[in-house]
Structure 1
Amino acid sequence: MRLAEAATIPLSAMTAAIHLYQVLHLPLPWAPATEATPLLIYGGASAVGAYAIKLAKLSNIYPLIVVAGRGIPFVENLIDRSQGDTVLDYRNGDDKIVGDLRDALGGRKLEYALDAVSEKNSYVNIDKVIEATGQVSLVLSAKEKVMPSGLKLVFRSVGTVHGPVAKDTRDGKHRAKIGDVQFGGVFFRFFAQGLRERWFTGHPYEVVPGGLRGLQVALKNLKEGRASAVKYIARLEDTEGLWPNPPLGAT
């Protein structure tokens, strides 16, 4: 695996893992689901969305109802239509995507949704199709914490896996409180094992010309929605004038 591909994994894959397993509490890959568990992934062509699809498949979670746009061909290569998975196009407007989501559910109850977009009405559309008792996990913080329907929106930062070990002081005794830090330690090793055994892969990427000096163009492309199903990677050694003798493999 190239270093650039490896760079696509830690932040995005761990974000997907935190939201699927620590927020939505879906079955883990080593204790997979034993029955159909519909899961909506909004923004399936994004790095977080794509890793969520990969992890959900490892957890035997199906059917996956994925929302995407220009990255639909990429998503098609990730889902399994024989399990009832489908990908829907959000570009036809909110009313159309809500109708398509209802059609895809086919009367089944939707209890779980991962919103890898978390803006532009994404969670508003989810609110219209998910059960009142359902759970929606957002990758970005929203102004609303509770929708008019009563649905709670939950945001969790992936940075919690790097935080200090929490303390449980019940009964006046100090003990470690098991949580995201320990989860992160386990899952980073899980990803590494998957890479070694080739059942886990990185995300498509594009190396930005000019290293750090090319970030402005990359950010502009992201802001204008030109990037789809791709991660931008800036290589430090490609940055002119950053240092006279760049370290080997610096990225």
Structure 2
Amino acid sequence: MKAAVVKAGPTVKVIDTPIPEPREGEILIKVVVAGTNPKDWKAPEVAATGAKSFAGFSLEHMGEWSNQGDDLAGYVEKVGQGVVGFKPGDRVAAMHEMAKPHGAWAEYAIAWSQSTWHIPDNISFEEAATVPLAALAAAVSLFYNLRLSTPLAPANRQTPLIINGAGTTVGAFAVKLAQESNIHPVIAIAGDTIPYIQTLLDPSKKDAVVDYRQDQAKVIADLKQAISKSGTTHVKYAFDTIGKQVGVDALKEVLDSDGHIDFILPPEVNVGPLSHSTTYVQVVHGPVDGAVARTLGYMISKWFTLGFQTGVFTGHPYEIKKGGLYGLQPALTDLKEGKNSGVKYVVRVGETEGITAAV
């Protein structure tokens, strides 16, 4: 089969490699659409420095070239021993286990059954492929690290939440999951993506958006105003997908003294007296944090199917990079150069020269 691998640069090449076999608990998926994430170009560059880990996952066995793809949507080809609920031909999306072999950038990929879910017929593979890693990362932040209410048991009292970087893919999914968990008010900090984020918020529950492109004093003033209008003076929880000092300084001005910030990457900032944590999405595959995190990943993955079916959950805006697997080169380059804003880059594997597209 054809597969794409990347090394520091980023430099992408398409290679021929054997089709893998699913082991116990795994599913072999014929990939129709694969997605990209910022870590896909960052991890090879960090590995090239000799570092042993990045964002909580090991780099020791990655090698110079690696298939970094973790977001995929396609058809079940084969199931491993012990897998229940899936059969060949099922339309599915999945998160591949980070830093492991047989990633999403290939004709066939391997995913654990616990982080695989069915795609309703009315949802495209492109939309579904925007979901896995980013939405599960948002779920780990809100429901595992911050211990907030989930869509399975929504909040029954006001729970203010600030999301810094709401326009990122992870941030936008955090907004969506908060809505379905009755977490309000959500105060979203964003920039160019404000029009999209506003469509996700519920003003009737005092949700609000703050434009970070203003000067710092105005950002802080707007945050305080949004909090005041919500009828509360206490905000304990924040999710920061950016991790820059200027954003953290604003959060320190408005969070309670016992407030907690969860970051999407290990912070290199001063959080002052606030407590903080870091989201490592790979905990849904364990065994780092045991059965609780794996169970969360399983239950939220299955909820994605229900959310799509009922229309309360949607994917992220996306842009298709042409050329199939060869489209990963411009996708990763654009991600590194900061040209991406508010969309997820995906590729249709069947567009790759030498590959027959799945129907």
TM over 0.5: yes
Q: Find out whether 1:212 has 2:311 as its counterpart.
A: no
Q: Give CA-to-partner distance per residue, 1:7-65, whole Å, 9 cap, x none.
A: 01111111111100101111122222122111101111211111111111111111111
- 1:66 counterpart = 2:188: yes
Q: Give the aligned partner of residue 5 of structure 1.
A: 127
Distance 2:202 2:343 in 1: 21
User: Residues of 2 paired with 1:245 and 1:211: CA distance?
Assistant: 9
CA distance in 1, matches of 2:247, 2:356: 43
The residue number in structure 2 matching 1:91 is: 213
Which whole-Å CA distance do the structure 1 matches of 2:140 and 2:275 have between them?
A: 17
- Count, aligned residues: 234
Q: 1:224 Cα deviation (Å)?
A: 4.2
| TM-score relative to the length of structure 2 | 0.61
Provide closer, same or farther for how the CA distance between residues 147 and 157 of structure 1 changes in structure 2, counting only shifts above 3 A.
same
Q: Which residue of the partner structure matches residue 151 of structure 1?
A: 274
**Counterpart residue number, 2:263:** 138
List aligned pairs for 1:92-107, cutoff 5 A.
Answer: 92-106=214-228
The answer for the alignment partner of 2:283 in structure 1 is: 160
Using the TM superposition, give the Cα deviation of residue 198 of structure 1 relative to its aligned residue in structure 2, in angstroms: 2.3
Gaps of 5+ in 2: 1-122
Q: Distance in 2 between matches of 1:214 and 1:21?
A: 34
Equivalent runs, 1:168-179 vs 2, <5 Å: 177-179=290-292
Contact conserved, 2:324 with 2:350, CA < 8 A, in 1? yes
SS at match of 1:123: helix
Instruction: State the Cα distance separating 1:203 from its structure 2 match.
Output: 0.9
1:196 pairs with 2:306: no
Q: CA offsets, 1:96-144, max 9 Å, x none? A: 2122111211162110111122236322321221111011110111124
Which structure shows the higher helix fraction?
1
* Structure 1 stretches lacking a partner, 5+ long: 167-176
Separation in 1, partners of 2:162, 2:316: 20
Distance 2:191 2:259 in 1: 25
Of 136, 139, 162 in structure 2, the residue corresponding to residue 17 of structure 1 is: 139
- The aligned residue for residue 49 of structure 1 is 171
Q: CA RMSD in A?
A: 1.9
Question: How much does 1:236 deviate?
Answer: 2.2
Pick the structure with more strand per residue.
2
Distance between the aligned counterparts of 2:264 and 2:223, measured in 1?
20
TM-score (norm 1): 0.86
- CA gap of 1:92–1:165, structure 2 versus 1, over 3 A, is closer
Q: Is the 8 A contact 1:40 1:65 kept in 2?
A: yes
Seen in structure 2, the aligned counterparts of structure 1 residues 69 and 225 have a Cα distance that, compared at 3 Å, is farther
CA distance in 2, matches of 1:9, 1:81: 25
Are residue 79 (structure 1) and residue 204 (structure 2) matched? no
Matched, 1:237 2:359: no
Question: Is it true that 1:124 corresponds to 2:284 in the alignment?
Answer: no
Q: Once the two structures are aligned, what percentage of the paired residues are identical?
A: 39
Q: Give the direction of change, closer, same or farther, for the CA distance of 1:99–1:221 in structure 2 (3 Å limit).
A: farther
In 1, the alpha carbon distance for the partners of 2:303 and 2:241 equals 22
Question: Do the aligned partners of 1:137 and 1:155 also contact (CA within 8 Å) in 2?
Answer: yes
- Looking at structure 2, the residues matched to 139 and 105 of structure 1 have their Cα atoms a distance apart, in angstroms, of 23
